[in-house]
Structure 1
Amino acid sequence: MQEEESRATSYTTLALGPEFRHELEIKRSRFITVLCRADSEDAARNLVAGLRREFHDARHHCSAFVLGPDRDIQRSNDDGEPSGTAGIPMLEAIIKRETAPGVTDLSDVSAIVVRYFGGILLGAGGLVRAYSESVSAALERAPLVRRSRLRICMAAVPHAAAGRLENDLRAAGLVMAKTTYGARDTTLRLAVPDAPAEIAAATERVLSLTAGKTELAAAGTEWIDVPLT
């Protein structure tokens, strides 16, 4: 999905890794929120299916997800709770989550709240608050990254020199994409903002570190995870 052209050039998402879990107890009901990065509807729905198997004795497995750099895919499901009391509050918690002051750009996020009923009815308003709070509390604690569409520039260097050059480039603040290895050379891939001045600065840096022996070659754009600062 991210290979398609989008209006957005960056957005915030969950860091890659195991799914993130957080639990709240509200009036004896357990609300177990599971957050996972997902870049397709199939991936989001597979997460729900897996949790239904894991928590097979739970009464509800409510879900919401937001996908795509432009957040153009948004879905929610109440899974048996009164209409509008679970899925929509969960979806709004994702959509309205500020990742910086005044910035709401969280995407590629799937949220599932597994509820074990505790015997006390919460009412419609109580359910809305519970599901919204469950997802919001999980997002407060979950690890996030910036995902940006960056220009990939490649530099082919001898294997013996690759490690040191990569370390020097990282120390200079450049973002590295996946390195590839050939029979004779190691190809370092730098991810830089897609602007002539940024590319020129990266090229000058590589030339300086390699005594003018290595130049950068442009190789399209990719979505790259960048740690939040």
Structure 2
Amino acid sequence: MALEYKIVYTGGEAEIVEKKSRFIATVSPVKTEEEALAFIEATKKKYWNARHNCFAYIVGEQQELMRCSDDGEPNGTAGKPMLDVLTGAGLHQVVVVVTRYFGGTLLGTGGLVRAYSSSVQAGLASSQIVTRISGSKLQITTDYTGLGKIQYILGESGIQILDTQYTDQVVLEVLLSDEQLAPVQAEITEGTSGQAKMEVGEACFFAEVDGKEQVLE
């Protein structure tokens, strides 16, 4: 299982024009091939009067499944270049459909490759891409004397504090990657002379979205 990889958090849409042909790229996150195929069909219905609805998608934590289609364009001029943009961006769990409305001028093989590649790049630029991280929630309970040290340790590691509860003690909640978990626990134990209590929650996936870390579904 991959510990970290890029995904589309929210999809986007973008359009470019090449010699009067319109190329509309529609990007969406997907978790399964069924979701990808359903999105492709929905996009084809939306743009039912277009000459071509070419697509590419990647499914699986290890990019196990990759598919693409030229949808009537010359072989290798649409689907494969689109897929190459997705893999070049290091993306997983993603589908993109590029809809073409023919403008009356032939673009040639090279022109088509450039147009479909540029369309996907524009679609990704209009999407929100985040890094999906495998990790866990960690709840840290400390007395007030140990709070400053723990905050310093977390700050030095660039770890955001999700929540803080103040009672007779202080309870902090953070998200840690699988690689961070053991080292940070050890550092907090040493820094507080074993006074801080730590409880590891269920494994989860999280990402930084709009500057804040949050658990992904």
Aligning the two structures, in what range does the TM-score lie when normalised by the shorter sequence?
0.7 to 0.9
Residue 162 of structure 1 aligns with which residue?
Answer: none
State the distance in 2 between where 1:31 and 1:203 align.
Answer: 57
Gaps of 5+ in 1: 1-5, 98-104, 157-167, 180-186
Q: For 1:54-81, what per-residue CA distance to the aligned partner results, in whole angstroms no more than 9, with x for missing partners?
A: 1111111110012233222211011111
Cα–Cα, structure 1 residues 175 and 41, in superposed 2: closer, same or farther, change >3 Å?
farther
Larger Rg: 2
Q: State the Cα RMSD in Å.
A: 3.1
TM-score (norm 2): 0.74
* SS of equivalent to 1:89: helix
* SS of equivalent to 1:216: strand
Q: Is the 8 A contact 1:148 1:226 kept in 2?
A: no
Cα–Cα, structure 1 residues 226 and 201, in superposed 2: closer, same or farther, change >3 Å?
farther
**Is 1:88 the equivalent of 2:80?**
yes
Q: For 1:116-147, what per-residue CA distance to the aligned partner results, in whole angstroms no more than 9, with x for missing partners?
A: 11111112222111111111232234321111
Residue 114 of structure 1 aligns with which residue?
Answer: 99
Cα–Cα, structure 1 residues 128 and 222, in superposed 2: closer, same or farther, change >3 Å?
same
Task: Name the amino acid aligned to 2:5.
Answer: Y
Cα–Cα, structure 1 residues 148 and 111, in superposed 2: closer, same or farther, change >3 Å?
same
State the distance in 1 between where 2:54 and 2:129 align.
Answer: 22
Residue 183 of structure 2 aligns with which residue?
Answer: 197
Mapping of residues 53-72 of structure 1, within 5 Å: 53-72=45-64
Mapping of residues 68-217 of structure 1, within 5 Å: 68-97=60-89, 105-154=90-139, 174-175=159-160, 190-195=174-179, 196-201=182-187, 215-217=197-199
State the distance in 2 between where 1:228 and 1:203 align.
Answer: 31
In the alignment, which of 205, 212, 216 is matched to residue 223 of structure 1? 205
Identity of aligned residues (%): 32
Q: Is the 8 A contact 2:54 2:70 kept in 1?
A: yes
Q: For 1:151-204, what per-residue CA distance to the aligned partner results, in whole angstroms no more than 9, with x for missing partners?
A: 233579xxxxxxxxxxx9xx9554578x9xxxxxxx986321224112345679
Task: Name the amino acid aligned to 2:118.
Answer: E
**Is 1:10 the equivalent of 2:1?**
no
Residue 23 of structure 1 aligns with which residue?
Answer: 15
Instruction: Extract structure 1 runs of 4+ deviating beyond 6 A.
Output: 202-205
**Is 1:41 the equivalent of 2:27?**
no
Q: Is the 8 A contact 2:135 2:175 kept in 1?
A: yes
Q: Is the 8 A contact 1:21 1:138 kept in 2?
A: yes
State the distance in 2 between where 1:189 and 1:42 align.
Answer: 36
Question: Higher strand share goes to which structure?
Answer: 2
Task: Name the amino acid aligned to 1:198.
Answer: V
How many residues are matched?
190
Cα–Cα, structure 1 residues 36 and 113, in superposed 2: closer, same or farther, change >3 Å?
same
Task: Name the amino acid aligned to 1:35.
Answer: V
Gaps of 5+ in 2: 142-150, 164-170, 212-217
TM-score (norm 1): 0.70
Cα–Cα, structure 1 residues 151 and 129, in superposed 2: closer, same or farther, change >3 Å?
same
Cα–Cα, structure 1 residues 28 and 108, in superposed 2: closer, same or farther, change >3 Å?
same
